[in-house]
Amino acid sequence: MHNKQATHRNSEQDKETLKARIEVLEKANSNSERRNKELLSNLNKVKRQHEMAKKSNTNLEKRNQELKAANSTLNANKIQEQKELKEKLHLVEKSLIKAGQTAEELRDVARVGKFYAELVHSDVKSDPNFHTGNGFADQLQKDLESINKALK
């Protein structure tokens, strides 16, 4: 009978131990289920954020393409503008060369005019009959001085 009592006591201890283990496992399972729900919630949040990031990325790529197209247009316009400015500069250079040639021609005409004015002036000064008193010789002298200034 002693053996029966010992076996019964062991059996009772085993039952208590198993009950304690079951409680620990149930509590651990409950904690695992709660943690799984938290993880699933976090996973869903991350999925939503990922979808929003994909949409944002798509919008950014679209905007980037638009900016690239605008940049290409600006570059093309800039190149065209530079080409037109070079053409205008070339025309201005040609005009300046022409103006320089014209100025030189005008200087030549002035030199000829000066030569004839000096001849007339010397004739007027030397001819006593040509002095009419109207200051013609003085005006001619002033005109010669103006021509000399212009030629310098």
Q: What percent of the chain has a predicted confidence (pLDDT) above 70?
A: 81
pLDDT band at 9 (very low <50, low <70, confident <90, very high): low
Q: What mean pLDDT, rounded, does the chain reach?
A: 84
Which one has a higher pLDDT value, 125 or 73? 73
Dihedral in degrees, nearest 10, Cα atoms 19, 23, 24, 28: 150
CB 133 within 8 A of CB 120: no
Task: State pLDDT tens for residues 80-113.
Answer: 999 999 999 899 888 888 888 888 888 888 888 7
Is pTM, for the whole model, over 0.75?
no
Q: Return the domain boundaries, the chain.
A: 2-151
In this prediction, what percent of the chain has a pLDDT beyond 90? Answer: 47
Average of per-residue pLDDT across 18-22: 91
| Encoded tokens for 40 | 């699933």
